[in-house]
Chain A
Amino acid sequence: MTKYKNLSSPTKNMVSTFALVIGLFLILQILLLTGSVSSLVKGQLVPICAYIVMAVSLNLTVGILGELSLGHAGFMSVGAFSGVVMSSVLKQAGASDGLRLFVSILTGCVFGAIVGFLIGIPVLRLKGDYLAIVTLAFGEIIKSIMNNLYIGLDASGLHVNMLKDNLNMTDGRVIISGPMGVSGNDKLSTFFAGFLLILFCLFVIFNFVDSRAGRAVAAQRDNYIATESVGINVTKYKLTAFTISAGMAGMAGTLFALNYSTVVASKFDFNTSILVLVFVVLGGLGNMKGSILAAIVLTLLPELLRAFSTYRMLLYAIVLILIMLITNNPEMKHVVDTVLSRIKGLFRRRKGGAVND
Chain B
Amino acid sequence: MSFLSYLINGISLGSIYAIIALGYTMVYGIAKMLNFAHGDVIMVGAYVCFFAVTRFSLPPVVGVLLAMVVCTLLGMLIERLAYKPLRSAPSLAVLITAIGMSYFLQNSAQLLWTSNPKVFSSVVGNGALKLFDGQLSISYVTIVTIIICFAIIALLLFIVQNTKMGKAMRACSEDKGAAMLMGINVNTTISFTFAIGSALAAIAGVLLCSAYPTLMPTTGSLPGIKAFTAAVFGGIGSIPGAFLGGILLGVIEIFAKAYISTQLSDAIVFAVLILVLVIKPTGLLGHEIHEKV
Q: Which A residues fall within an 8 A CB radius of B?
A: 62, 68, 122, 125-127, 129-130, 133-134, 136-138, 140-141, 144-145, 147-148, 163, 225, 270, 274, 277-278, 281-282, 285, 310-311, 313-314, 316-318, 320-321, 324-325, 327-332
Contact = CB atoms under 8 A, between A and B. Distances in A.
B94 to A, nearest CB: 8
Interface stretch (B63-71, B143-151, B182-190, B258-266): B258-266
A130 B293 CA distance: 22
A281 B101 contact: no
B93 A126 contact: no
Contacts of B95: 68, 281
B97 A137 contact: no
Nearest to A148: B263
13 contacts: A62-B92, A134-B274, A136-B229, A140-B266, A144-B263, A281-B92, A285-B92, A317-B101, A320-B99, A321-B97, A328-B85, A328-B86, A328-B90
Contact of B99 (A278, A330, A332): A278
B186 to A, nearest CB: 17
Interface stretch (B2-10, B45-53, B102-110, B153-161): B102-110
A124 B28 CA distance: 22
B111 A321 contact: no
Given A129-B236, A225-B291, A310-B111, A320 B100 contact: yes
B140 interface: no
Given A130-B232, A137-B270, A281-B93, A122 B86 contact: no
B116 interface: no
Interface in B196-238: 225, 228-229, 232, 236
A311 B108 CA distance: 9
Given A126-B281, A144-B267, A324 B100 contact: yes
Where chain A touches its partner, the secondary structure class is helix
B93 A136 contact: no
Q: What are the 6 A-B residue pairs with the smallest beta carbon separation, nearest first?
A: A144-B267, A137-B270, A320-B100, A317-B103, A328-B89, A317-B104
Nearest to A325: B85
Most buried by B among A277, A285, A329: A329
Contacts of A133: 228-229, 232, 273, 277
Contacts of B99: 274, 277-278, 320
Given A163-B263, A270-B225, A330-B88, 7 more contacts: A138-B270, A140-B225, A141-B267, A225-B291, A281-B95, A320-B97, A329-B86
A129 B236 CA distance: 9
Nearest to A318: B104
Nearest to B275: A122
A321 B291 contact: no
A274 B92 CA distance: 12
Given A321-B82, A327-B93, A129 B34 contact: yes
B271 interface: yes
Contacts, number: 122
Contacts of B291: 225
B82 A137 contact: no
B139 interface: no
Nearest to B103: A317
Contacts of B101: 317, 321
A327 B283 CA distance: 34
A138 B236 CA distance: 19
Nearest to B222: A270
B278 interface: yes
Contact of B82 (A129, A225, A325): A325
Contacts of B228: 133
Nearest to A162: B264
Contact of B281 (A130, A314, A317, A332): A130
B85 A332 contact: yes
Contact of A137 (B34, B86, B229, B264): B229
Contacts of A311: 111
Contacts of A147: 263
Contact of A314 (B82, B90, B104): B104
Nearest to A178: B263
Contacts of B88: 330
A324 B96 contact: yes
A317 B107 contact: yes
B282 interface: yes
Contacts of B93: 281, 324, 327-328
A125 B104 contact: no
B210 to A, nearest CB: 26
B103 A140 contact: no
B96 A277 contact: yes
Interface string B245-258: 00000000000000
Contacts of B110: 313
A219 B62 CA distance: 57
Nearest to A121: B278
A316 B264 contact: no
A188 to B, nearest CB: 30
A311 B110 CA distance: 10
A318 B106 CA distance: 12
Nearest to B218: A271
A314 B110 CA distance: 10
Contacts of A122: 274, 278
B173 to A, nearest CB: 15
Contacts of A163: 261, 263-264
A130 B270 contact: no
B75 to A, nearest CB: 16
B107 A314 contact: yes
A282 B88 CA distance: 17
